């Protein structure tokens, strides 16, 4: 399970970082980056993807 962030869609709200802080981090561009694709439980990563307001996180 590998999460990816679509930077074109990301609005930098920080929700994914709040839900899965060991997987996502805010980049210097103010948008979410992958810190460690397996940093949190699969459940937490799925919650982060579901919680993204602009569906910028895909899971492959």
Using an 8 Å Cβ cutoff, are 40 and 20 in contact? yes
Nearest distance, CB of residue 40 and ligand SF4, angstroms: 13
Residues between 9 and 48 that touch ligand SF4 (CB under 6 A): 10-16, 31-32
Give the three-class secondary structure for 46.
helix
Q: How far is CA 31 from CA 9, 34, 43, in A?
A: 9, 10, 22
Give the three-class secondary structure for 26.
strand
Nearest distance, CB of residue 19 and ligand SF4, angstroms: 8
Judged by CB, which is closer to ligand SF4: 13, or 35? 13
The site for ligand SF4 (CB under 6 A) is made up of: 5, 10-16, 31-32, 52-54, 56-57
């Amino acid at each position: 399970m590998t999460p990816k962030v679509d930077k074109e869609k990301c609005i930098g709200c920080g929700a994914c970082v709040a839900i899965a802080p060991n997987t996502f981090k805010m980049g210097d561009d103010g948008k979410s980056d992958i810190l460690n694709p397996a940093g949190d439980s699969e459940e937490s990563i799925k919650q982060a993807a579901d919680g993204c307001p602009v569906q910028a996180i895909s899971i492959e």
